[in-house]
Amino acid sequence: MKVIISGYGRMGHMVEKELAKRGIELAEASEDICSVDPEVAKECVVIDFTWPDAFKANYGFIAKHFKAAVVGTTGWNDIEADVFRAFEEAGTPLIYASNFSLGVNALFAAVERVSAMLKGNGYTPAVEETHHIHKLDAPSGTAKSLGKLVEANLGTEPEITAHRIGEVPGIHTVTFTSDVDKLTLTHEAFGREGLAAGAVAAALMTEGLKGVHEFRDLL
């Protein structure tokens, strides 16, 4: 498998290190994915950690030309249907996630189960997230995903609170409060390495895969 990184910022460099650790070939790291030679692209999986406007501008090229795509960029929910259609029509596998950390995906599973168990028993949910000051979106895509899971399974939309402090890699907390107790579920990232490891694991999953998939559904 060969990989091209789209977006060569902090996450791009982390992905590069993870690829090297696993002995996976990095064909190119690009700040402008649409400038990649289509003949090269068709042999490569692209791992995209850019920003919402960039992905919105680039997803058509990625779907048309790449062997497969792993997308960790968030903030494109408003065009989700168009993105999925583009990849499905092109026959290009897509794995996407609001967070590729295995720990966060375990949190997703826990929140889904707990929300369903507490439904109808008087619990008020809330989601709180804290990230570094460089993060562009607020609340985070992960917090929004947690909110959707709570709403779908508990039947109540949670309040989501976002904080931007220093260089915090990422903390996500979901609470369920009733008149008699409070349940708290928290994931704290110590760095971005977990995101890179999950994204590379997802890239390996694209071999022989068809269609559009959310990462947590493949775990």
> Catalytic residues, which ones?
131, 135
Residue 24 identity: I
Tokens 């559904």, located at residue:
217
Tokens 């990095």, located at residue:
26
Report whether 20 contacts 5 (CB < 8 A): no
CA 53 to chain centroid: 16
Strands 124-131 and 159-164: parallel
| Residues facing residue 94 across a β-bridge | 69, 212
Closest of 105, 76, 44, 69 to residue 211, by C-alpha: 69
Ordered alpha helix ranges (H), the chain: 10-22, 38-41, 52-65, 80-90, 102-118, 141-154, 193-205, 215-218
DSSP character for 67? S
